[in-house]
Chain A
Amino acid sequence: MNFAIEAKNLVKRFADIAAVNDISFIVKHGETFAILGENGAGKSTTMRMIACRSPLTTGELSVEGLNVKNADRRIRSLIGVVPQENNLDPDLNVRENLLVYSRYFRIHKEIAQTRCDELLEFIRLKEKANAKVEQLSGGMKRRLIIARALLHRPKILLLDEPTTGLDPNVRQEIWEKLEELRRTENLTIVLSTHYMDEAEKLAQRLIVMAHGRIVVEGVPHEIIKDKVKKFALEIREADSFNLRQTDKILSQKRGSTHLYFAKLPKI
């Protein structure tokens, strides 16, 4: 069977450090696939390799059946990239951002105009078409970056931490748009994220990465059932008083905040 993405023993080294260390995974057509992990886990490097922005040190990687080593141009015409950082063009207005970008995909001018209107409608930014990028809110910018990645009707959408730094209702809005895209456009979506809730909400399958390796692989709700404790108690400023800890409760310390996890609440 042909997969949207197939990675075999993927390794990426920067000098002596292995940012990605022998990982293998597949992404099926039409599914949303999440790569979960902390900063430095190797998520972004994996995404960069898929986007043909980072040559592999060793291993095999194919995207839509094409090898990243010799078909990078073709691959980049099949994927839409939503980067972690805002890289909209501040020298251009909202509409120009889409039109100028469409030239890099060699989209005919008239088709680009129509597609641009369609996408501005889809992300509800039509009335802001002539606004400067700086005038947009964080959520609007994110929506515009997603629209820009969809200009050429890609088969795969790559999103690197799509909702990091956004407030909860904007995150919700972005999630709805992504879900709509997967459903209506039959897009394959690959996203990297820090957030389990985001992966759970969007992804059909996920991998969890740590130190360049895959530590867990599977279906989100099963992983949550299996690995995440049912109850969590968060105590802020916990250093200011003593808490006794039993073996059945797992604790995690983040600064002066203590998190306690248990399968059953013990009160």
Chain B
Amino acid sequence: MSLAISKIDLTDSCAVWRRNSRVYLRLWKTELVAPIIEPIFTFFAFGFGVGALVTSDVEGLSYLSFVGAGVLAFTVLMRTIFEMTYGAYFRMVYQSTYDAILATPVNAESLAFGEIIWAVTKGVVDCLFILPLVVIFGSATSLFTPLSILPLIFGCIYLGGLGLAITAHVYEIDYFNIFFALFFSTLFLCGAWFPIEMLPGWLQIVAFIIPTTSVIDLCRACLTGNFAVKHIYESIYLLIISVLLLEWALRSIRKRMVA
């Protein structure tokens, strides 16, 4: 059995990507509100609000430095997941955009990949707006700060793949509620707001299995310059999960659309 990833035609995926970017450029003013407003208020809440209660250092960092990676990853990943769930579902079911595209030489795999690289692009664009805020609020102290885009790209691929695969299995929009209940629950465990070492042992294992934990940890390493051996393992884990979920998304879209 051949891999779905091997069936991707990059020129076709690019055509799908360009369709989405054209719509984005038309709506760019509304699209950019969230990635600017959200992190500012998250910094207010966690940096100044919760941060005021945290007097000791967290993993050798001030709380504001610690929480920066969480704010950055939280905003970027959230955009990706919404784009690949509700956004993709609208295009697939309500607008039948996928149907229209699949009547052309573009195959299901290239369509799905085009959608995912679009979600990644949106994440990266958001990241470019949030990073200066992270610097302004004093959370980025290292010269490696721009590198934090890399773990976020893989975070977007993994969550984009997961989101699109789930979307391909959803036949009623309300089913997203179950997925989001699980997804939001994991976000509180993945080391964005406190070190996962504070959790009981078994819950730490759960936290490490959630790939978002690796994304945030790697982001934090880039923002603060505190690298460790565990970051190599986290990178490998994130890479493997991204490829697996990408493959699952491609297969799921084919199964849903070509039947």
Does A100 lie within 8 Å of B97, measured CB to CB?
no
B113 to chain A, nearest CB (A): 14
B2 to chain A, nearest CB (A): 13
- Would A89 and B18 be within 8 Å (CB), given that A54-B258, A76-B104, A81-B103 are in contact? no
Does B96 lie within 8 Å of A101, measured CB to CB?
no
| Chain A: CB-nearest residue to B108 | A53
Does B107 lie within 8 Å of A73, measured CB to CB?
yes
Check A108 for interface membership: any CB of B closer than 8 A: no
Does B106 lie within 8 Å of A104, measured CB to CB?
yes
Does B105 lie within 8 Å of A73, measured CB to CB?
yes
Expressed in whole angstroms, the Cα–Cα distance for A73 and B12 within the complex equals 11
Does A53 lie within 8 Å of B258, measured CB to CB?
yes
Does A89 lie within 8 Å of B102, measured CB to CB?
no
Does B18 lie within 8 Å of A103, measured CB to CB?
yes
Contacts of B107 in A (CB 8 A): 72-73
Check B101 for interface membership: any CB of A closer than 8 A: yes
Does A77 lie within 8 Å of B96, measured CB to CB?
no
Inter-chain CB contacts under 8 Å: number: 67
B6 to chain A, nearest CB (A): 14
Check A51 for interface membership: any CB of B closer than 8 A: yes
Check A96 for interface membership: any CB of B closer than 8 A: yes
- Would A104 and B96 be within 8 Å (CB), given that A73-B107, A76-B104 are in contact? no
Secondary structure class of chain B's binding surface, majority of residues? helix
Contact of B104 among A83, A85, A90, A104 (CB under 8 A): A104
A131 to chain B, nearest CB (A): 15
B26, B97, B100, B101, most chain A CB atoms within 10 A: B100
Mask, A44-63, CB within 8 Å of B = 1, is 00000001011100000000
Count B interface residues, CB 8 Å: 24
Mask, B234-256, CB within 8 Å of A = 1, is 00000000000000000000000
Check B19 for interface membership: any CB of A closer than 8 A: yes
Does B18 lie within 8 Å of A104, measured CB to CB?
no
Contacts of A96 in B (CB 8 A): 22
- Would A77 and B15 be within 8 Å (CB), given that A87-B95, A92-B23 are in contact? no
Of residues 4 through 42 on chain B, the ones whose CB sits less than 8 Å from some CB of chain A are 11-12, 15-16, 18-19, 22-23, 26
Does A104 lie within 8 Å of B15, measured CB to CB?
yes
Check A91 for interface membership: any CB of B closer than 8 A: yes
- Would A91 and B23 be within 8 Å (CB), given that A54-B258, A54-B259, A106-B11 are in contact? yes
Does B96 lie within 8 Å of A87, measured CB to CB?
yes
Expressed in whole angstroms, the Cα–Cα distance for A53 and B250 within the complex equals 16
Contact of A89 among B100, B104, B106 (CB under 8 A): B100
Expressed in whole angstroms, the Cα–Cα distance for A45 and B96 within the complex equals 17
Does A76 lie within 8 Å of B95, measured CB to CB?
no
A101 to chain B, nearest CB (A): 7
Counting chain A residues whose Cβ lies within 8 A of the other chain, the interface size class is 20 to 34
Of residues 75 through 105 on chain A, the ones whose CB sits less than 8 Å from some CB of chain B are 76-77, 81, 83, 85-92, 96, 100-101, 103-105
Expressed in whole angstroms, the Cα–Cα distance for A106 and B96 within the complex equals 21
Expressed in whole angstroms, the Cα–Cα distance for A104 and B22 within the complex equals 14
| Chain A: CB-nearest residue to B100 | A87
Expressed in whole angstroms, the Cα–Cα distance for A54 and B99 within the complex equals 12
Expressed in whole angstroms, the Cα–Cα distance for A77 and B16 within the complex equals 16
A83 to chain B, nearest CB (A): 6
Does B258 lie within 8 Å of A104, measured CB to CB?
no
A156 to chain B, nearest CB (A): 12
- Would A89 and B258 be within 8 Å (CB), given that A100-B19, A101-B100 are in contact? no
Expressed in whole angstroms, the Cα–Cα distance for A174 and B121 within the complex equals 41
Expressed in whole angstroms, the Cα–Cα distance for A215 and B257 within the complex equals 30
Contacts of A103 in B (CB 8 A): 15, 18-19
Contacts of A100 in B (CB 8 A): 18-19, 22
Does A55 lie within 8 Å of B258, measured CB to CB?
yes
Expressed in whole angstroms, the Cα–Cα distance for A83 and B11 within the complex equals 25
Expressed in whole angstroms, the Cα–Cα distance for A175 and B182 within the complex equals 52
The 10 closest A-B pairs by CB, nearest first: A87-B96, A104-B104, A81-B103, A103-B15, A91-B23, A87-B100, A77-B105, A76-B105, A73-B105, A104-B106
Which A residues form the contact surface with B (CB < 8 A)? 14, 51, 53-55, 72-74, 76-77, 81, 83, 85-92, 96, 100-101, 103-106, 148-149
Instruction: Supply 29 A–B pairs (Cβ within 8 Å), ascending by A.
Output: A51-B103, A53-B102, A54-B258, A55-B258, A76-B103, A76-B105, A77-B105, A81-B103, A83-B99, A83-B103, A85-B99, A86-B96, A87-B97, A89-B19, A89-B95, A91-B23, A92-B22, A100-B18, A103-B15, A103-B18, A103-B19, A104-B12, A104-B16, A104-B101, A104-B105, A105-B105, A106-B15, A106-B105, A148-B100
Knowing that A87-B100, A105-B104 touch, tell me 16 more A-B residue pairs with CB under 8 angstroms: A14-B259, A53-B257, A85-B96, A86-B96, A87-B97, A89-B100, A92-B19, A92-B23, A100-B22, A101-B104, A103-B18, A104-B12, A104-B16, A104-B101, A106-B11, A106-B15
